[in-house]
């Protein structure tokens, strides 16, 4: 690793994020990418194709039971630009997906092995987690030309705990550059609390299954710093730091594997969060 845990902890506390290069070896990267290719071969039929988009006016998952039910499944989400009006593919299947999630870490042996490896456990321990649990995982494609924008957001808006203690593990499986949509961070923004929540809608008369509690805040574009990283890097993301990524208009993809952990000791996971455990608690990191 390029930086030590003490420095990573300091940077997360100061900036809201930290980069640890060389977290994964080339063989580990290849194993995850090859497994993703196998998952692509098992993509659903047209009738089950769901689109994922973070732009609120276009976010179909707010109404989609498929998205709501994905916490304990391996579910497939397509780019809006990859599908026609009747769900037909407009691009090659290999570059049609936005992401696969949200239980890769539990249901797929390859992703489970990486998520619960000693290196991940040690990282969580050094960050002060006493009884961490993994709540969700995603393989993100950011495919060439159609990889969509991810709007500025805080992870704690979606995975809220009281007190807030959530960390994202974002692992670059390919070089993340300015051209193909690397992450951008508003450094220090994690010190301003949780700006809004994304919750289950209890209004039975509404067709919106999921809603934001307030409109999207305005974030000054000049506040963000780019964080390009080489493949194999781990980006640790504080739950309250505001971050985003631009659309990928280049000819190079930007694959990443990401998962989130929360503290469960003396911490309450909100019952209003969109993602809820089903039939069993979230998988404890140290016990697996």
Query: What percent of the chain clears pLDDT 70, i.e. is strictly above it?
Result: 93
Enclosing domain of residue 269: 5-28+105-284
- Confidence label for 84 from pLDDT (cuts 50, 70 and 90): confident
pLDDT of 62 > 50? The answer is no
Identify the bridge partners of residue 186 per DSSP, sorted by sequence position.
224
Q: How confident is the model at residue 91 (pLDDT cuts 50, 70, 90)?
A: confident
If one counts the domains in the chain, the total is 1
Give the span between the Cα atoms of 39 and 44, in whole angstroms: 10
Of all helices (H) and strands (E), which one includes residue 104? helix 104-107
| 32 to 19, 139, 232: CA distances (angstroms) | 20, 9, 11
pLDDT in tens, 116-135: 999 999 999 999 999 999 99
Averaged over 233-245, what is the pLDDT? 98
- Residue 3 confidence (pLDDT): 64
pLDDT at 261: 98
pLDDT band at 206 (very low <50, low <70, confident <90, very high): confident
Q: What is the pLDDT of residue 202?
A: 82
Other Cβ atoms less than 10 A from the Cβ of 14: the count is 13
pLDDT value at position 89? Answer: 82
Identify the pLDDT of residue 156: 98
Question: Domain with 110 in it: what CATH number?
Answer: 2.60.120.620
Residue 178 lies in a domain: yes
With 0-12 / 13-18 / 19 or more C-beta atoms within 10 angstroms meaning exposed / middle / buried, residue 181 is buried
Q: Work out the average pLDDT over 169-186.
A: 98
**What percentage of the chain reaches a pLDDT higher than 90?**
75
265 assigned to some structural domain: yes
CA distance 72 to 159: 15
In this prediction, residues 250-260 reach a mean pLDDT of 97
Structure tokens at 72: 């304990």
Q: Mean pLDDT throughout 235-253? A: 97
Structural contact between residues 97 and 89, judged by C-beta atoms closer than 8 angstroms: no
Using CA atoms, how far apart are residues 21 and 236, in angstroms rounded to an integer? 11
254 within some domain? yes
Q: What is the pLDDT of residues 136-175, one digit of tens each?
A: 999 999 999 989 999 999 999 999 999 999 999 999 999 9
Coil, strand or helix at 266: coil
- Could you report the per-residue pLDDT of 92-107, keeping only the tens digit for each? 888 889 999 999 999 9
pLDDT value of position 94: 82
Confidence of residue 246 (pLDDT cuts 50, 70, 90): very high
Q: Are 134 and 287 in contact (CB under 8 A)?
A: no
Decide if 67 is inside a domain.
Answer: no
Helix H or strand E segment including 12: helix 5-15
Would you say residue 64 lies in a domain? no
- In contact, 67 and 100? CB cutoff 8 Å: no
Could you tell me which residues are beta bridge partners of residue 244? 184
Looking at the domain assignment, is residue 97 inside a domain? no
Q: Structure tokens of 192?
A: 């301003």
State pTM to two decimals.
0.92
Please check whether residue 100 lies inside any domain of the structure. no
In a domain, 231, yes or no: yes
Backbone phi, psi, residue 201, to 5°: -90, 120
**∠ at Cα 153 (152, 154), nearest 5°?**
145
Query: 41: Cβ–Cβ under 8 A, 6 or more apart, which residues?
Result: none
Say how many residues make up the chain: 288
**Lookup: tokens for 243:** 């971050």
Span 25-55, pLDDT tens digits = 999 999 999 999 999 988 777 546 777 665 5
Distance of CA 261 to the CA centre of its chain: 11
Task: Give 17-49 as a 3 state SS string.
Answer: EEEECCCCCHHHHHHHHHHHHHHHCCCCCHHHC
């Amino acid at each position: 690793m390029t930086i030590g845990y003490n420095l990573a902890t300091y940077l997360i506390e100061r900036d809201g994020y930290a980069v640890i290069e060389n977290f994964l070896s080339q063989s580990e990267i290849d194993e995850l990418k090859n497994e993703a290719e196998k998952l692509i071969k098992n993509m659903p039929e047209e009738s089950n194709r769901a689109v994922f988009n973070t732009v609120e006016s276009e976010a179909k998952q707010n109404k989609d039971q498929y998205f709501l039910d994905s916490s304990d499944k391996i579910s497939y989400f397509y780019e809006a630009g990859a599908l026609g009006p009747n769900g037909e593919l407009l691009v090659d299947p290999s570059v049609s997906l936005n992401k696969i999630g949200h239980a890769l870490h539990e249901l797929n042996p390859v992703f489970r092995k990486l998520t619960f490896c000693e290196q991940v456990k040690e990282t969580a321990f050094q960050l002060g987690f006493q009884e961490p649990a993994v709540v969700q995982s995603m393989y993100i494609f950011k495919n060439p030309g159609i990889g969509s924008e991810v709007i500025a957001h805080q992870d704690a808006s979606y995975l809220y705990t009281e007190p807030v203690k959530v960390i994202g593990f974002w692992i670059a499986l390919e070089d993340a550059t300015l051209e193909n949509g690397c992450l951008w961070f508003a450094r220090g923004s994690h010190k301003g609390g949780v700006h809004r929540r994304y919750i289950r809608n209890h209004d039975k008369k509404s067709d919106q299954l999921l809603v934001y509690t307030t409109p999207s805040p305005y974030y000054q574009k000049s506040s963000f710093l780019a964080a390009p990283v080489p493949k194999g890097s781990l980006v640790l993301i504080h739950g309250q730091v505001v971050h985003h990524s631009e659309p990928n208009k280049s000819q190079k993809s930007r694959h990443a594997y990401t998962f989130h952990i929360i503290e469960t000791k003396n911490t309450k996971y909100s019952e209003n969060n969109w993602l809820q455990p089903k039939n069993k608690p979230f998988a404890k990191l140290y016990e697996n």
